[in-house]
Amino acid sequence: MRVLKLWRLYAWMDLTWILQDPITAVTYFISDLFVNLTLVVGALLLAERFDGIGSWSRDQVVFMLGYAILVRGIVDGIFGFNIAFISRRIGRGQLDHVLIQPQSFWLALLVDGFTPFSGLTATLPGLVLMVLAGQRLSIEVSPGWLGLFGANVLGSLGVILAFSFLWGSLAFWSPRGAEEISSSAMRMIDQLKPFPLDGVAPLLLGGLLTVVPAGFVAWYPVRALLGIAAPLPTGLVTPAAALGFLALTILVYRKGMRHYGYTGSQRYHSMGHRR
Amino acid sequence: MATPARSATIPWDTAVELSGVWKVFSRVQRAERPSELLRSLVRPRVQEIHALRGIDLRVQKGEIVAYAGPNGAGKSTTVKLLAGLLTPDRGTVRALGMDPVHERRRYVGRIGVVFGQRTELWWDHPVWASFEWKRVVWDVPVERYDRMLDFARSVLGLEEFFNAPARELSLGQKMRAELGLALLHEPEILFLDEPTLGLDVLAKRNVLTFIKDLNREHQVTVMVTSHDMSDLEQLAGRIVMIHQGQIAFDGDFDRLRRGVADRRRLSIETETAGPAPDLPGASLVESSGARHEYVFDATRVKLTTLLEAAASQVNVRDVETHRAPIDDVIADIYEEWTRSGNSQRPSAATQ
């Protein structure tokens, strides 16, 4: 399958980059690890200090933070080179590089940023936190649970990407003004994702599940995975939401692409689409 | 200008055909006065920029065509249209019998594009890794890959930096690597946008030789833009000049020179140092000691007349004459375009 063939190529390039310049790679790993841990350390300290947050125990919070870091790690590992921060590529006129490749545009977006080894900086710590907390919580890992876990991880991934691409599409119409809008959108999600949202006022909660869907990045899926809410149908809400967000995003993005076809980009900056 | 006739079907030997292509961009004008700021928020002033105004152009397979024009003339817009990166507002763009936008995937597999200011190389990887990347993404058959790589290595001398990271290459090496990369899939058309930008003399010569070899040995159609007219003259048999979105000249370089004026330089060295002789019909450009340099239009003044005039005034020791560099000719054309206003095409350059 072509996706696997291309993933293998990009994975190999990622690995050779790490091996040929280990000092740079180690520096990159350490700094990235700190960035990812910093994103959740506030919630971690709160959970430690108060032995949990709200109705969530400390271990449940740690599991949720592990899940959040894991999902972010997968985003970084599959959608590197500013694919996740798509407004940068659009705003900097770098989509042209994708358009001169003889393959589907969507396939290019799926493979062009595949950096599984660099992405390990967040994936591994996330997994470790989840396993440690999961042991303390005595989670029964059954095939059904694993299926639910996989579907929710994919769902959370879809929600994050959809949100970034939805806002990032603005760069089609305002390349300079919206160049950094995807990173702002991601930052907003990163800041809101580590907190359990139980007890939040319904209106605000609605906003956190639609306007800024940070609730789907960790809180909602983990409720189902930890049995805080009934695994079904709660566990299906995040994947379903992801499909909805992605459909809307594809609609807006395609509109943006059509606009790009007529206006092109009057700017060009080489930074960011190749390491 | 000889306007190519439009046709419903493209002859088999046509590589590129643009018919009545218009491209208009909108640019929001900034408010000049503070009082206009609020109004411009509600109703921004939009300026329409006509990048291309009804371009008709046909390029035959195997041709090398130089595409020239002053800054903002519409060169890059044309290349982007032909690369499938832009959609025309009006008119049709066909290349290799395909619509570059609607048949993008199939089309870009058969063309190569090099933008002088952009790079397809992987910055932190050795050059060979970018070549391997291209092979997989473009799905180039191994036999073709090996053959084209051998050709690129031998003609472009990639060997000396094939294992070096792209970020460590000099500008000339980078361009050689870009060109090698662009032809790995054996494209039928190569679009080169400013491929000699910033290169030193040697690197430039290597690149130009390579493009000529590629055209001769692989019959690749080449469309090249550059600000360096002497590069273009060395490379292409045909030059298409674009001005304010319209084709102002389409022909060979000799015709271009004749269309403006057959500018020549005349150097006269006299036996003794002294004032420069007065040559009617020629303008004195420089005079130093016994050496005097003039420019004249060979279509208006005969060289023999000038020499007779000089011989009647001074003792001539040596004479040298040569054509004005193509850059001077083009500069004259651009100057005339500027003088003749925005809406008119220059009569001298229009054939």
Question: Mind listing the pLDDT tens digit for each residue in A63-73?
Answer: 999 999 999 99
ipTM of the assembly? 0.88
pLDDT at B351 over 60: no
Predicted confidence band of residue A48 (pLDDT cuts 50, 70, 90): confident
Are B87 and A270 an interchain contact pair (Cβ–Cβ within 8 Å)? no
pLDDT at B347 over 50: no
Q: Are residues B216 and B155 in the same domain?
A: yes
CA distance B17 to B96: 9
Q: Are residues B145 and B23 in the same domain?
A: yes
* pLDDT given for residue A208 in this prediction: 95
Q: List the single residue in A21, A99, A268 with the smallest CB-CB distance to B104.
A: A99
Q: How many CB atoms lie within 10 A of CB B34?
A: 7
Q: Are residues B108 and B229 in the same domain?
A: yes
What is B186-250 written as a DSSP string?
--SEEEEESTTTT--HHHHHHHHHHHHHHHHHH--EEEEE-S-HHHHHHH-SEEEEEETTEEEEE
- Compute the Cα dihedral for B132, B134, B137, B142 and give only its sign: negative
Q: Are residues B121 and B165 in the same domain?
A: yes
- Among A35-44, B56-65, B235-244, which stretch is predicted with the lowest mean pLDDT? A35-44
Q: Are residues B278 and B319 in the same domain?
A: yes
Q: What is the mean pLDDT of residues B326-344?
A: 68
* pLDDT given for residue B320 in this prediction: 93
B143 is a domain residue? yes
B238 is a domain residue? yes
Examine the fold and report which residue of B251, B276, B294 is the final residue of a domain before the chain moves on: B251
Amino acid at site A206: G
In terms of average pLDDT, the best of A113-122, B205-214, B310-319 is B310-319
pLDDT at A157 over 50: yes
- Alpha-carbon A246 to chain mean position: 13
Share of chain B above pLDDT 70, in %: 92
pTM, 2 dp: 0.84
Are A101 and B137 an interchain contact pair (Cβ–Cβ within 8 Å)? yes
* pLDDT given for residue B201 in this prediction: 84
Q: Are residues B282 and B136 in the same domain?
A: no
Q: What is the 3-state secondary structure (H, E, C) of A126-180?
A: HHHHHHHHHHHHCCCCCHHHHHHHHHHHHHHHHHHHHHHHHHHCHHHHCCCCCCC
Q: Are residues B155 and B304 in the same domain?
A: no
Domain span at residue B296 reads 263-327
B35 is a domain residue? no
pLDDT at A25 over 70: yes
* pLDDT given for residue B104 in this prediction: 96
Q: Which helix (H) or strand (E) holds A39?
A: helix A22-49
CATH of the domain at B300: 3.30.70
Instruction: Report yes or no: B42 at the A interface, CB cutoff 8 Å.
Output: no
B339 is a domain residue? no
Q: Are residues B112 and B164 in the same domain?
A: yes
Q: Give contacts of B83 with chain A, Cβ < 8 Å.
A: 96, 99-100
Q: Provide the domain count of chain B.
A: 2
- Compute the Cα dihedral for B117, B123, B127, B132 and give only its sign: negative
Q: Are residues B282 and B229 in the same domain?
A: no
**Closest chain A residue to B101, measured at CA:** A261
Are A274 and B121 an interchain contact pair (Cβ–Cβ within 8 Å)? yes
Q: Please report where in the chains the tokens 């879809």 appear, as a residue.
A: A158
Distance, in angstroms, between B247 CA and closest chain A CA?
A: 21
Q: Are residues B72 and B194 in the same domain?
A: yes
Q: Are strands B45-60 and B14-29 parallel, antiparallel or unpaired?
A: antiparallel
CA distance B185 to B147: 10
Are B133 and A13 an interchain contact pair (Cβ–Cβ within 8 Å)? yes
pLDDT at A267 over 50: yes
**Closest chain B residue to A271, measured at CA:** B123
Q: What is the mean pLDDT of residues B206-211?
A: 88
Are A16 and B129 an interchain contact pair (Cβ–Cβ within 8 Å)? yes
Q: List the single residue in A97, A261, A263 with the smallest CB-CB distance to B120.
A: A97
Q: How many CB atoms lie within 10 A of CB A244?
A: 15
B9 is a domain residue? no
- Contact (Cβ atoms closer than 8 angstroms) between residue B144 and residue B185: yes
Burial of A120-131, coded b for 16+ CB within 10 Å and e otherwise, reads bbbbebbbebbe
Interface of chain A toward chain B, CB-CB under 8 angstroms:
5-6, 9, 13, 16-17, 21, 96-97, 99-104, 261-264, 266, 268, 270, 274-275
- Compute the Cα dihedral for B157, B161, B167, B168 and give only its sign: negative
B192 is a domain residue? yes
Examine the fold and report which residue of B230, B251, B272 is the final residue of a domain before the chain moves on: B251
B120 is a domain residue? yes
B111 is a domain residue? yes
Please return the burial class of B272, using the count of CB atoms within 10 Å of its CB with bins 0-12, 13-18 and 19+.
Answer: exposed
What value does the mean pLDDT of chain A take? Answer: 92
Q: Are residues B55 and B190 in the same domain?
A: yes
pLDDT at B348 over 60: no
Q: What is the mean pLDDT of residues A18-31?
A: 84
Q: Give contacts of A97 with chain B, Cβ < 8 Å.
A: 118, 120
Separate counts of helices (H) and strands (E) for chain A: 13, 0
Q: Are residues B157 and B276 in the same domain?
A: no
Distance, in angstroms, between A214 CA and closest chain B CA?
A: 33
